[in-house]
Structure 1
Amino acid sequence: MNQSLIFGDDVTVGENTVIFTAQQQGQNINCKISFVALGELSLLQVNIHNAAMAFEQVRFDIEELTEHAIKDELFEDDGSILL
């Protein structure tokens, strides 16, 4: 894991995504994973009711994917990362 990248404990469930924050060199980066991508990782049918639980089950994998996306500079127009 990249020591300069820190993941917060914040997890917010939206309509079709789970939103979380990464911090790199003091800058917050808003990150999102779609229910579809989360379902592929967790092998669950993800919905608004179980998304937070599914996220926690595969948090390490999500953080690793996010780390790679940030390293590869795969930012959205608004500066966020979307998995």
Structure 2
Amino acid sequence: MNQGILFNDDVNVAHNCLAFTAMVNGMMVKCIIATPSMSDEAALKHFKDHQFDYEMQAEQLIEDEIYEEDGSVLLTFL
């Protein structure tokens, strides 16, 4: 795991998306997962069940510098 990337414990659900943040060398990067239609409770449970996999996916995108125009990274729903 990259020591320059730290994941915060701040997952949120809004508009069929899960979002959490990472600190990358002192900068905040928003990590976004587009989810299928599901309740907020189900989306949060899904994230908790797959959190490590999402963090690994985000880490790879950040290391490869694959950012969206707004500086966020867009993860694939698992």
Runs of 4 or more, structure 1, over 2 Å off, are: none
State the one-letter code of the partner of 1:47: M
User: In angstroms, what is the RMSD of aligned CA positions?
Assistant: 1.2
Corresponding residue of 2:28? 28
Size of the aligned set, in residue pairs, is 74
Instruction: Name structure 2 gaps, 5 residues minimum.
Output: none
Q: What TM-score, normalized by structure 1, do the two folds share?
A: 0.83
Q: What is the identity percentage for the equivalent residue pairs of Structure 1 and Structure 2?
A: 41
Deviation at 1:48, TM superposition (A): 2.9
- Residue aligned with 2:8, SS: strand
Residue pairs, 1:3-82, within 5 angstroms = 3-36=3-36, 47-49=38-40, 50-82=42-74
List alignment gaps of at least 5 residues for structure 1.
37-45
Report the 3-state secondary structure (helix = DSSP H, G, I; strand = E; otherwise coil) of the residue aligned with 2:38.
Answer: coil
